[in-house]
Amino acid sequence: MGMGFAAAPLLSLSSLLSISRISPYRPHNILPSTARSTSLRLRAEGGNLDLLGDFGARDPFPAEIESNFADKVQGNVSTEHKILIPNASALSLAQMQCAPIADIHHPLSVDDAKKLLYKVVGWKLVDEGDGLKLEGVWKVRDEKCGEELINRIKSKVESTGHLPRLHFEAPNLVRARLWTSSVGGISFNDFIVAAKIDEIKVSDLQPRLRVWA
């Protein structure tokens, strides 16, 4: 018994002509040849090839120009642009320098200290009756990692002349306290030093996470 094959469909001459008149597929991200040639000609007449000026852009299609699409874009040609130089309050505390102790006459109020807490990470205010202090605590893997963290902190803030009180507490805690003893409380210097300490890498000293199968 022979195997049957389906007969190929027969196309009429009119069908073939209609297919030939269908516009070829053109990807949306390919510009018409006229647009590409216009873009290259304009840039060549400018003298220098401006790669950044044409990066990620294209010339508008004629239909887009006719539609006045640019009039529908949000914005205004008369918009005024200003470059603002950040003042001290906008800068990161870690970028600031500590003031000389002789220029500090009063401690920060509790309200001001609480506002500055938002500019440092993981620090808290403590008051044990002898004035407000700024305290940070880190959990490390072991005593060796604790000693390494203390050395990193000292190296980071030694140039400020305003060092924290550092302690390793067994089995795996490092505690830092900052205050300005000459005014009997916290000064802006303490927050500057705390922000600088926040920049220290500590992830390689902390306990490793357990992965359960």
Domain boundaries, the chain: 33-72, 93-198
Instruction: Report the CATH fold assignment for 93-198.
Output: Gyrase A; domain 2 (3.30.1360)
pLDDT tens column, 161-181: 999 999 999 999 999 999 999
Determine the pLDDT at residue 67.
Answer: 72
At residue 168, φ and ψ (nearest 5 deg) are: -100, 125
The token pair that represents 4 in the structure block: 């049957």
Determine the pLDDT at residue 45.
Answer: 41
Half-sphere exposure of 96 (CA within 13 A, CB side): 20
- Cα Rg of the chain, angstroms: 35
Q: Where are the beta strands (DSSP E) in 140-197?
A: 165-169, 173-178
**pLDDT at position 64 over 90:** no
The token pair that represents 41 in the structure block: 């000609």
At residue 209, φ and ψ (nearest 5 deg) are: -75, 140
Q: How far apart are CA 140 and CA 146, in angstroms?
A: 6
